[in-house]
């Protein structure tokens, strides 16, 4: 699956507000952004994929433009897809990125 290069550029720009260094890695047929090896957000086709901490996942899945990340018929734990309507503005995109970074930092604490 290809990924949205424009979205990848937007993510790169948005990540610059964080003091940490992020890396890029091809994952799931798309492009993911990692913090110390932990995935935060990424893009597959035109969708934004986001890792979300367990305490927030059910709340986020109630939004119209969000669905579970599902490749095999079974949703992947702590992963969601967000359609274009959900990350259209820079403020919306930043919201999702902050959720993804929160997830990675939470994993790094363990």
pLDDT, tens digit, for every residue of 20-62?
A: 999 999 998 899 999 999 999 999 999 999 999 999 999 999 9
Do the Cβ atoms of 22 and 61 come closer than 8 Å? no
Q: Tell me the per-residue pLDDT of 67-81, one tens digit each, with 9 for 90 and over.
A: 999 877 888 899 999
Per-residue DSSP letter, 73: S
Query: Global pTM?
Result: 0.93
Q: Tell me the per-residue pLDDT of 97-108, one tens digit each, with 9 for 90 and over.
A: 999 999 999 999
Residues 6+ positions from 103 with CB-CB distance below 8 Å: 38, 39, 40, 50, 51, 52, 53, 78
């Amino acid at each position: 699956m290809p990924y949205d290069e424009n979205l990848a550029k937007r993510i790169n720009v948005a990540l610059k507000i964080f003091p940490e260094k992020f890396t890029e890695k091809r994952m799931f047929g798309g492009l993911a952004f990692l913090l110390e090896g932990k995935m935060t957000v990424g893009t597959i086709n035109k969708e934004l994929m986001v890792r979300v901490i367990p305490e927030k996942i059910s709340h986020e899945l109630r939004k119209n433009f969000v669905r579970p990340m599902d490749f095999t018929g079974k949703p992947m734990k702590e992963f969601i897809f967000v359609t274009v309507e959900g990350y259209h503005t820079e403020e919306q995109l930043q919201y999702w990125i902050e959720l993804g970074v929160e997830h990675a930092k939470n994993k790094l604490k363990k």
